[in-house]
C-alpha cells in the first residue's frame, strides 16, 4: 500500500496535466467501477480518458482488469456486464464462461462455493479496437510496476524502457532503483532509468555520458542495441559522447562474449548429462551384455509413459499442480521399464545371446510392438506437465541462467552413475554380473546361475533407461515413437564412441559429445553460422574420424564381446 501511495506522489509531481481529483485521495473501488463502465462505453473519447485515469489509479489489480478488457473478456447482456476468460464444458459439451469480478478479476462464487457461470451464447462480447488495445497495453505496463508479483514487476520495468519509451514511468522507476527490495528488479529499474536518460535527446550531454558510462559498468546487454543505434548517427553526436558510446559498447560486447562462452560450456555439460543418462542403460545391455538392443529407446519411452501414468493418478495438471507425482514416478518408471525388460529378456533376448546380429532384428521388432501397444493405449498426443519447481532457472552469473530442470537431470545422472558404480563394484550381484560378462562358461562352471544374472542385468539396463525417459519428460516431449526418433541413434553413438563394455567410457564420450556439439553450434565463420544442422554434420564427421583412429572407442572394454 505504501508503494501505491508513493506512486501517486511521483505521478502527481511528474504529470501536471493529470486530473487532480483522481490523485487527491485513495481511489475507492466504486470510482474504479465508474471508470470501468466508461472504458466499456462506445464513446471512444470517454474510453481513452477512462483508460488513462485507470492507469493512474496505481492499483495493481486494475492491470488485471485492463488485461481482461483488452483480451475481450468483457461481455454484455441487457446492460449488465459479465467478465469471463476461461470456459468449461458440461458433459454434453455445452460451453460456459466462468465469471470473474469486473472490478478486480477475481472469481465470482455462488453460495455453494462454486464459480458462477454463464452460457456463452447468452452474452455479447464487447469489441475492442486495435487503437484501444494499444492504449490499454501501455496502461497495463504502468500499473504492473506496482504489482505484487516479482516476475510481473520485472517485465514491466523492462518494458517501460523499450521504444516507444514511457517517460511517465520515470519517477516510479527512479524510486524503484533505490528502494525496490528485490535486487534483480532494482538492477533492472536502474538499467531502465539509464536507458531512458541515454535516449533523451534533449537532456544535458553530461547526463547522457554519465548514463553511458554507468551502463557500460553494468555490462548491460539491454543497452547494446540502443547504443549501436546511436552510433549509426555518429555524425550528429558530439565527439565525447561517441567515445563514451564506444567504450560502453566494448565493455558490453566483452561481457556478451563471456556470457556466450559460459553459456555454451554449461549447455554442453547439460546436453552431455542427458546423453550420458540416455546411454547408461544401453552401456549395460549392449556394452556389457553384447545384445544389440534396438528396443533401448522404447524402454525410455516406457519410463516416460510411466511418468505420465503417475501424473494422471496424482491428478497433476499445469494449473493445479501436485508435485508428489514426480517423486513417485522415479521408482515407478524404473520398475515399469525393468519389468518390460524382464519380459523381453525372458521371451526373446535370452535365446539370442550367441547370435548378436539376430538380436538386432528381434529387439527392433520388440521395439515396434511396444510402440504400437503404447499408441493404442494412449494415443499419440499426451502432455506431461513438469513439476512446478522445475520451471525457471537459477542465474549462475549475470545473464547466464541454468534451468532447474537441467540441474536436476545433471544430479540424477550423477546419482545413476554412482548407483551403478556401487552395484557393480561393491555388491555380490555386481560381482556376479562382472564374472558372467568376462567369461560366461567359467562363471557357469563356478556355480553362478548365468541365466538369472542375465535376467537381472537386462532388467537393470532397461530400468536405467526408464529413468532416462522419466528425466526426459522435464525437457522434451513424449510420443510413442520417441525412442526411435530421438534416442536410439544418439545412445549408440555415445556407447560406441566411449568404447563398448566400459561404463566410464560412456561418461567421457557423452560429456565430450555434448560439449563439443554445443561449442560448434554457435560458431561463426564470416557471416555463416553452423547452427544445429551443420553442427550435427560436423559432430558426426568428427566421430567418424575418431573411430578411424580408435576403433574400440575411448576405452577398450573387457565386455562379453571380447570372448569372440
Partner 1 sequence: MKKYKLIIALTCAVLAFVQPAQAVKIGILHSLSGTMAISETSLRDVVLMAVEEINNKGGILGEKIDPIVVDPASNWPLFAEKAKQLITQDKVAVTFGCWTSVSRKSVLPVYEEYNSMLFYPVQYEGEEQSLNVFYTGATPNQQLIPAAEFMSNELGMKKFYLLGTDYVFPRTANKVLKAYLLANGVPEANIREEYTPFHHQDYQTIVGKIKEFSAGGNACVMSTINGDSNVPFYKEFANQGLSAEDCPIMAFSVAEDELRAMDVPPLVGHLAAWNYFQSIRSRDNRSFVRNFKQYCKKNKLPGAGDRVTDDPIEAAYFGVYVWAQACEKAGTFDVDKVRKAVYGIKFNAPGGAKQMHESNQHTKKPVLIGEIKRDGQFKIVFQTDGLVSPDSYSPYLHTDGTFPDPTGGPSQ
Site for partner 1 in 258-287 (CB under 8 A): 260, 263-264, 267, 270-271, 274
Residue with grid cell 571380447, as numbered in its chain: 562
| Grid coordinates of 445 | 562352471
How many residues form the binding site for partner 1 (CB under 8 A)?
Answer: 80
Gap between the Cα atoms of 164 and 170, Å rounded:
13
* Per-residue binder mask for partner 1 (CB under 8 A), 33-72, x = binder: --------------------------------------xx
Shortest distance, position 392 Cβ to partner 1, whole Å: 6
Q: Is the peptide bond before 164 cis (omega within 30 degrees of 0)?
A: yes
| Grid coordinates of 212 | 553511458
| Grid coordinates of 447 | 556355480
Q: In the set 485, 540, 547, 563, which binds partner 1 (CB under 8 A)?
A: 485
Q: Where in 139-178 is the site for partner 1 (CB under 8 A)? A: 151, 155, 158-159, 161-164
Q: In the set 64, 117, 153, 222, which binds partner 1 (CB under 8 A)?
A: 222
| Grid coordinates of 335 | 520398475
Pairing state between β 124-125 and 393-397:
unpaired
Q: Which is nearer to partner 1, 6 or 259 (CB)?
A: 259
Strand ranges inside 387-519, DSSP E? 393-397, 400-403
Applying CB under 8 A, the span of 357-365, 421-429, 475-483, 501-509 interacting with partner 1 comes to 475-483
Q: In the set 186, 210, 312, 536, which binds partner 1 (CB under 8 A)?
A: 536
Q: Which is nearer to partner 1, 186 or 391 (CB)?
A: 391
Side-chain half-sphere CA neighbours of 72 within 13 A: 8
Is 85 a residue that touches partner 1 (CB under 8 A)?
yes
Side-chain half-sphere CA neighbours of 95 within 13 A: 8
Q: In the set 42, 92, 111, 201, which binds partner 1 (CB under 8 A)?
A: 92
Say if residues 469 and 523 touch (Cβ distance below 8 Å).
no
Q: Which is nearer to partner 1, 214 or 437 (CB)?
A: 214
Is 375 a residue that touches partner 1 (CB under 8 A)?
yes
Shortest distance, position 339 Cβ to partner 1, whole Å: 23
- Mark residue 387 as left, alpha or beta (left: phi above 0; alpha: psi -120 to 50; beta: remaining): beta
Which is it for the CA torsion 255, 256, 262, 266, positive or negative?
Answer: positive
* Per-residue binder mask for partner 1 (CB under 8 A), 389-418, x = binder: -xxxx-x-----x-xxxx------------
Tell me 107's DSSP state: B
Is 200 a residue that touches partner 1 (CB under 8 A)?
no
Q: Which is nearer to partner 1, 401 or 431 (CB)?
A: 401
With CA atoms as reference, report the closest residue to 59 among 137, 143, 176: 143
Q: Which is nearer to partner 1, 327 or 446 (CB)?
A: 327
Gap between the Cα atoms of 278 and 303, Å rounded:
12
* Per-residue binder mask for partner 1 (CB under 8 A), 225-264, x = binder: xx-----------------------------x---x--xx
Q: Which is nearer to partner 1, 82 or 458 (CB)?
A: 82
Q: Where in 313-342 is the site for partner 1 (CB under 8 A)? A: 318-319
Axis-axis angle for helices 450-472, 404-426 (nearest 10): 170
Give the distance, in angstroms, between the CA of residue 160 and the centroid of all CA atoms in the same chain: 25
Applying CB under 8 A, the span of 43-51, 127-135, 415-423, 455-463 interacting with partner 1 comes to 127-135
Q: Which is nearer to partner 1, 111 or 524 (CB)?
A: 524
Q: In the set 34, 41, 76, 94, which binds partner 1 (CB under 8 A)?
A: 94
Residue 29: count other Cβ atoms within 10 Å of its Cβ.
11
Residue 456: count other Cβ atoms within 10 Å of its Cβ.
19
Q: Which is nearer to partner 1, 49 or 256 (CB)?
A: 256
Q: Which is nearer to partner 1, 339 or 382 (CB)?
A: 382
Q: Which is nearer to partner 1, 30 or 381 (CB)?
A: 381
Gap between the Cα atoms of 394 and 195, Å rounded:
26
Q: Which is nearer to partner 1, 212 or 443 (CB)?
A: 212
Using only the alpha carbons of the chain, give its radius of gyration. Answer: 31
Q: In the set 33, 365, 379, 415, which binds partner 1 (CB under 8 A)?
A: 379
Is 120 a residue that touches partner 1 (CB under 8 A)?
yes
Say if residues 64 and 104 touch (Cβ distance below 8 Å).
yes
Gap between the Cα atoms of 137 and 160, Å rounded:
11
Amino acid at each position: 500500500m505504501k508503494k501505491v501511495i508513493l506512486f501517486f506522489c511521483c505521478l502527481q509531481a511528474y504529470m501536471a496535466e493529470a486530473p487532480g481529483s483522481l490523485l487527491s485521495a485513495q481511489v475507492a473501488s466504486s470510482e474504479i467501477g465508474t471508470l470501468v463502465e466508461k472504458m466499456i462505453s462506445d464513446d471512444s473519447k470517454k474510453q481513452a480518458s477512462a483508460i488513462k485515469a485507470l492507469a493512474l489509479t496505481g492499483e495493481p489489480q486494475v492491470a488485471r482488469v485492463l488485461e481482461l478488457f483488452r483480451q475481450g473478456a468483457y461481455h454484455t447482456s441487457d446492460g449488465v456486464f459479465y467478465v469471463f476468460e476461461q470456459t468449461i464444458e458440461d458433459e454434453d459439451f455445452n460451453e460456459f464462461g466462468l465469471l470473474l469480478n469486473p472490478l478486480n478479476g477475481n472469481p465470482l462464487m455462488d453460495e455453494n462455493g462454486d464459480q458462477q457461470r454463464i452460457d456463452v451464447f447468452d452474452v455479447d462480447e464487447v469489441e475492442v479496437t486495435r487503437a484501444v488495445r494499444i492504449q490499454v497495453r501501455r496502461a497495463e505496463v504502468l500499473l504492473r510496476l506496482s504489482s505484487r508479483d516479482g516476475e510481473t514487476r520485472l517485465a514491466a520495468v523492462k518494458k517501460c524502457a523499450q521504444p516507444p519509451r514511457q517517460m511517465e514511468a520515470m519517477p516510479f522507476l527512479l524510486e524503484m532503483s533505490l528502494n525496490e527490495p528485490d535486487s534483480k528488479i532494482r538492477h533492472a529499474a536502474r538499467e531502465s532509468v539509464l536507458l531512458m536518460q541515454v535516449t533523451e535527446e534533449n537532456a544535458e550531454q553530461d547526463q547522457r555520458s554519465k548514463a553511458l558510462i554507468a551502463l557500460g559498468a553494468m555490462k548491460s546487454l539491454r543497452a547494446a542495441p540502443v547504443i549501436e543505434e546511436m552510433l549509426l548517427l555518429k555524425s550528429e553526436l558530439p565527439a565525447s559522447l561517441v567515445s563514451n558510446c564506444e567504450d560502453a559498447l566494448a565493455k558490453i560486447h566483452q561481457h556478451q562474449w563471456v556470457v556466450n562462452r559460459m553459456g555454451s560450456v554449461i549447455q554442453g555439460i547439460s546436453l552431455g548429462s542427458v546423453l550420458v543418462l540416455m546411454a547408461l542403460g544401453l552401456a549395460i545391455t549392449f556394452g556389457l551384455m553384447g545384445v544389440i538392443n534396438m528396443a533401448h529407446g522404447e524402454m525410455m519411452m516406457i519410463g516416460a509413459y510411466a511418468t505420465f501414468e503417475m501424473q494422471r493418478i496424482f491428478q497433476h495438471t499445469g494449473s493445479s499442480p501436485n508435485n508428489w507425482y514426480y517423486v513417485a514416478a522415479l521408482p515407478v518408471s524404473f520398475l515399469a521399464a525393468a519389468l518390460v525388460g524382464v519380459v523381453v529378456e525372458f521371451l526373446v533376448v535370452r535365446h539370442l545371446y550367441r547370435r548378436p546380429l539376430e538380436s538386432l532384428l528381434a529387439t527392433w521388432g520388440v521395439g515396434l510392438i511396444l510402440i504400437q501397444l503404447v499408441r493404442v493405449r494412449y494415443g499419440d498426443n499426451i502432455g506431461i506437465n513438469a513439476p512446478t519447481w522445475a520451471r525457471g532457472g537459477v542465474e549462475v552469473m549475470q545473464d547466464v541462467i541454468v534451468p532447474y530442470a537441467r540441474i536436476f537431470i545433471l544430479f540424477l545422472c550423477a546419482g545413476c552413475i554412482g548407483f551403478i558404480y556401487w552395484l557393480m563394484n561393491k555388491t555380490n550381484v555386481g560381482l556376479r554380473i562382472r564374472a558372467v560378462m568376462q567369461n560366461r562358461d567359467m562363471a557357469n562352471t563356478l556355480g553362478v546361475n548365468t541365466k538369472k544374472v542375465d535376467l537381472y542385468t537386462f532388467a537393470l539396463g532397461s530400468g536405467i533407461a526408464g529413468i532416462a525417459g522419466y528425466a526426459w519428460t522435464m525437457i522434451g516431449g513424449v510420443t510413442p515413437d520417441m525412442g526411435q526418433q530421438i534416442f536410439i541413434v544418439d545412445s549408440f553413438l555415445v556407447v560406441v564412441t566411449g568404447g563398448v563394455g566400459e561404463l566410464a567410457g560412456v561418461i567421457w564420450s557423452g560429456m565430450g559429445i555434448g560439449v563439443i556439439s554445443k561449442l560448434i553450434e554457435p560458431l561463426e565463420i564470416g557471416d555463416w553460422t553452423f547452427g544445429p544442422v551443420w553442427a550435427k554434420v560436423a559432430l558426426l564427421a568428427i566421430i567418424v574420424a575418431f573411430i578411424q583412429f580408435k576403433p574400440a572407442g575411448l576405452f577398450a572394454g573387457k565386455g562379453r564381446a571380447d570372448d569372440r
